[in-house]
Structure 1
């Protein structure tokens, strides 16, 4: 990518096999922010942003040092050399400088305004609790001391097997405080998935709770831990939060202890440990198809700088502003945009347990209204769920305070963008669709809140401090409007630093296709004439039909524009002559005017894209396989369609039972 714009600066002609600019890109238009810039960012126009981006590209070390200088450092600041090393062989930002994440997210706000609301928590059963910044600081410091007393030290791993709770915030920041590495394990994982991650990390302590609720059903987390503890020799202690107050919780003397009792017997508070800027801070695992999940290693202070930068530019949070990130804490979006990023901005956060459409889809609207949220960070799938349920659930709920809706997680279609604009914001809502990965530790493609225009369907532009190129199969930059491989060309503080215990996998998976100076995202993308980035899906999700590469996002967007379609997922299936053909799955909205007609939907694809996009079939199904964060798992749909069963990794599914439901529905059609 050229320093000031994008990969389009180099034009090598149309790469073989790539189609013309997709219709969804041609038809999208720029939408200016509905409100003027707040003034907090010092940026007022797109030209301001582009100038800052060019300056950052010329000297990324200096730019990121300028961002980091807004945070609190213990020693070694300013650094002599802000950036050293390279992408594949290892890089360091602010080498030698030390600081602590918990100090920046908790202590400094507790000192400035101890009674400010830090986190308000709402359980699925209606239970509510709140902590001020001083209460969060005191609990964090005491739990950090308790972990130290249990034998946890700098560099040790703590597994956090919790849902969204106040104690989750304290557990994460207690680890940051003493230099332990935390690994949040999604609370919906099976016992085996939990065991696999603990075995890989060698965690000394597991922090869990008695049970939590999801869609009205109790999930006994402590019992899940107990099923595998005999297989986990590294675990010395289990700390149990009393979420539900169960009368009987099996506790093994000497190993298991309740969180509240542990704090009661801990009279001192741990002092924050100054940690070098590139020292590992936490691990986050990503699920694969059949391969072992990868433990991504993120630095502590580097991640803080990136998350702070992301929340500042993408959300423009003000201190004490009412803000809600709807993600589960097991999804990296939650640490980026709430536990670390939002607290680093001094925001007042909402944390919610359970499903946002249970017991009815009105729950989302009720929570926004009662908390008086001005900004919400969520996933496109939640907005599609709200649209699928129908407009009636929003009736009577005042969302007039809601100014910004930010999105990440999977490609956003234009129909969902416009639905949110009309039904959630009455035309006055700023919608910021962003893009990032677990590996990047931030949503690095984004609008700048209140400053840059959005484009329904796009991911905005690269934020200052980030550079990318979109390449063809030969590693050449493609021209604007052409789909190619999305790569990153320079390191930034939030980018992960390796794979836990497997440095060779780090190099081969991310730096083999295009060499050591290009991080391979494995995502397919294009850049349009306005410099906006469109991530159209995974590289293996771009369907190759008779040597023509078709974007699954474009096909799904066309289907979602049909009346009555709530969700759409398109996968490629083998074809004896064309190599692959599309196969579409759709669900019907609750307020659909009539039953969906598969033939009409297939014809809609042909009309929108061309005869090459005619699907093998359009299957109307009752449900989709989703992760807890709401993503539709398309590879499982592909497996079901081609083999009749799903054998890949299903540990991250919200409800694995949907696979048997779908398998039965598909078998009836065969």
Structure 2
């Protein structure tokens, strides 16, 4: 096995497919492109004339909305279920067939066109998890317009920064979003954001939802979503170049000028169609539920576009893993709708496990339709992996990717072959990703040795082509650190079987007395303790040893264990499984960890607070109150108040 391939004799057909994707790139991706309907079929896969900027299927033209909708209707599947809306907060379930969804999207596109939206124009979508969010996205794609989805409920200043950067013609929004214990008003935020951005001329289309204090009548020049669609002339799909942008998605946690990841139409459609069949094993008529939000890349790829490109049924869920009404919510949805594949974040699984450690609520639902559970968004710790697998009795498949890549860098391609699963690993590089692990000087490291995970250019179709209107920042942010490679910003290692282990962001590597340690490896040990539901380990400044590792742990529901009894056990576990070199001596029990809405723990923010550095709480934080409650402990340098 060569260090760059990550394949062995044991991986069978995967090894051959992976080799072809790198060594016979043109033929491989042109074959994959046959899963997409083209207006002008591409004759070349890759345009590499201006490296490091690459274009996929340069002479191809298509329409993404047509591929997601119309072609299935034309193939006689108009009555098949396209989208299921399940609102746990409203107690509403609604199914849209491919014919119904196509009609809605065509009329929404016609309404947007009547407001001046055309090919290449931008539309900001600021919506909760309701069907109209997906309809608006697909309508933009139908017109050849570029959508930029902003998570519903983002603060006005953050929304304004994205409006100012994208410069939209129209904003599509709703009266508000519904949380388990509150309603979040959107219209005041939109009005304030337009004022901050100094763009009052932007048109606003509002999906009116009852029960909100601020209604459409408060803004005389804003438009009613339903009324516009009812009167609109359906718009036909507009052919666009494969390299034309489909959407802009701003990376979470950005400050200052936001960093807008730009995705193309052609490469995106080809990559997602390939993954539905080969990575997820989902086809026409099968139900895929991605328990995420359309504000994140996971929602773009696998709530809206991927399943529909494959002719499958996608499920859009408005609710939480716990609290709507309880920790059995996910099992209820699987049972109600015959879900075959569930894709969620590890943090959702940990929340369920914390509230219902024995999965007692699972017994009340028939989840026999579930074939596989996929996890991504942050590292799936081995303990949560084992728990989910034992309770559900299905393969639990970790896979690793980023907003920038749009689909999995590493995964377990169950549509190709049933490869073995390994706790703590997202398995192997996906076709097209030429993955290497380098040291700080750009030299390959040995098997089992941790280093910087990088991807040799060009990356495969579906990955970001650049940053919105900023090629220079794209190159500086991702391609400058290791020339010829995309720097993922993650560290990890590869084992003798070619499996990749992603240990965390490169800034989560700590240096204790000259020894480089991954906080992810320590977290895996702590999470293995039977009392621990989830944890975060950060490295704090230490005058003697440079840094010291401190663990913050959340206990499982119903566990009553004194901190003075728990900490020695955790210290002993780390000493036993990692060794004295970790010099782990501190663990603190907290009620919750600060996270983004996509489930990532804000380790960097925690570390900055503890080290007395200037910090900014990211706009993507799910519950700002968690930071406030943690401040006394963090400001005490980890020692508690």
TM-score (norm: length of structure 1): 0.90
CA displacement at 1:188 relative to structure 2 = 3.0
The question of whether the paired residues in 2 share the 8 Å contact of 1:603 and 1:614 is answered with: no
2:218 aligned with 1:255: no
Change (3 A) 1:45 1:470: closer
**1:103-182 equivalent positions in 2, closer than 5 A:** 103-111=66-74, 112-123=76-87, 124-182=89-147
Aligned to 2:505: 538
CA displacement at 1:65 relative to structure 2 = 1.2
CA distance in 2, matches of 1:581, 1:308: 46
**1:587-666 equivalent positions in 2, closer than 5 A:** 587-592=554-559, 594-596=561-563, 597-643=566-612, 647-666=615-634
CA distance in 2, matches of 1:662, 1:545: 24
Which stretch shifts more, 393-402 or 125-134?
393-402
Name which of 173, 180, 188 aligns with 1:208.
173
Aligned to 2:378: 410
Name which of 445, 452, 465 aligns with 1:497.
465
CA displacement at 1:248 relative to structure 2 = 5.5
The question of whether the paired residues in 1 share the 8 Å contact of 2:153 and 2:177 is answered with: no
2:272 aligned with 1:307: yes
Per chain length, whose mean CA-contact separation is higher, i.e. which structure has more relative contact order (CA < 8 Å, sep 6+)? 1
Change (3 A) 1:289 1:226: closer
CA distance in 1, matches of 2:25, 2:621: 38
CA displacement at 1:472 relative to structure 2 = 0.5
CA displacement at 1:247 relative to structure 2 = 7.6
CA displacement, residues 247-275 of structure 1 (integer Å, 9 cap, x when unaligned): 86044666311110001221x21111111
Aligned to 2:344: 378
**1:371-450 equivalent positions in 2, closer than 5 A:** 371-389=337-355, 390-391=357-358, 392-425=360-393, 429-449=394-414
2:64 aligned with 1:95: no
Change (3 A) 1:635 1:4: closer
**1:72-83 equivalent positions in 2, closer than 5 A:** 72-75=37-40, 77-79=41-43, 81-83=44-46
CA displacement, residues 112-142 of structure 1 (integer Å, 9 cap, x when unaligned): 2111111111221212222111111001011
CA RMSD of superposed structures (Å): 2.1
CA distance in 2, matches of 1:128, 1:288: 33
CA displacement at 1:603 relative to structure 2 = 2.3
Name which of 403, 408, 425 aligns with 1:458.
425
The question of whether the paired residues in 1 share the 8 Å contact of 2:165 and 2:258 is answered with: no
CA displacement at 1:148 relative to structure 2 = 0.8
CA distance in 2, matches of 1:350, 1:238: 27
2:176 aligned with 1:228: no
Aligned to 2:247: 282
CA distance in 1, matches of 2:220, 2:589: 54
CA displacement at 1:555 relative to structure 2 = 0.6
CA displacement at 1:468 relative to structure 2 = 1.1
Name which of 445, 467, 485 aligns with 1:518.
485
Which stretch shifts more, 93-102 or 627-636?
627-636
2:155 aligned with 1:186: no
CA distance in 2, matches of 1:382, 1:86: 44
CA distance in 1, matches of 2:584, 2:296: 33
Name which of 557, 573, 582 aligns with 2:549.
582
CA displacement at 1:197 relative to structure 2 = 0.6
CA distance in 1, matches of 2:333, 2:209: 20
CA displacement at 1:246 relative to structure 2 = 4.4
CA distance in 2, matches of 1:99, 1:505: 29
Unaligned runs of 5+ in 1: 10-43
CA distance in 1, matches of 2:508, 2:327: 30
Name which of 25, 50, 57 aligns with 1:60.
25
**Pairs aligned (count):** 627
CA displacement at 1:45 relative to structure 2 = 8.2
Change (3 A) 1:396 1:203: same
Which stretch shifts more, 149-158 or 602-611?
602-611
Change (3 A) 1:222 1:110: farther
Change (3 A) 1:87 1:463: farther
CA distance in 2, matches of 1:566, 1:416: 9
CA distance in 2, matches of 1:354, 1:229: 29
Aligned to 2:334: 368
Change (3 A) 1:88 1:487: farther
CA distance in 2, matches of 1:87, 1:647: 38
The question of whether the paired residues in 2 share the 8 Å contact of 1:331 and 1:629 is answered with: yes
CA distance in 2, matches of 1:45, 1:194: 49
Change (3 A) 1:245 1:621: closer
TM-score (norm: length of structure 2): 0.94
Q: Determine helix, strand or coil for the equivalent of 2:538.
A: strand
The question of whether the paired residues in 2 share the 8 Å contact of 1:289 and 1:649 is answered with: no
2:278 aligned with 1:316: no
CA displacement, residues 253-301 of structure 1 (integer Å, 9 cap, x when unaligned): 66311110001221x2111111111111100001346554311111122
The question of whether the paired residues in 2 share the 8 Å contact of 1:181 and 1:281 is answered with: yes
**1:313-352 equivalent positions in 2, closer than 5 A:** 313-352=278-317
Aligned to 2:5: 5
CA distance in 1, matches of 2:349, 2:229: 40
Q: Determine helix, strand or coil for the equivalent of 1:567.
A: strand
The question of whether the paired residues in 2 share the 8 Å contact of 1:627 and 1:652 is answered with: yes
The question of whether the paired residues in 1 share the 8 Å contact of 2:110 and 2:235 is answered with: yes
Change (3 A) 1:289 1:199: closer
CA displacement, residues 377-426 of structure 1 (integer Å, 9 cap, x when unaligned): 1111111111111223323222222110011111111111110111122x
CA distance in 2, matches of 1:272, 1:471: 45
Unaligned runs of 5+ in 2: none
Q: Determine helix, strand or coil for the equivalent of 1:586.
A: strand
Q: Determine helix, strand or coil for the equivalent of 1:443.
A: coil
Q: Determine helix, strand or coil for the equivalent of 2:624.
A: coil
Name which of 243, 256, 269 aligns with 2:209.
243
The question of whether the paired residues in 2 share the 8 Å contact of 1:417 and 1:431 is answered with: yes
Q: Determine helix, strand or coil for the equivalent of 1:401.
A: coil
Q: Determine helix, strand or coil for the equivalent of 1:482.
A: coil
**1:464-483 equivalent positions in 2, closer than 5 A:** 464-483=431-450
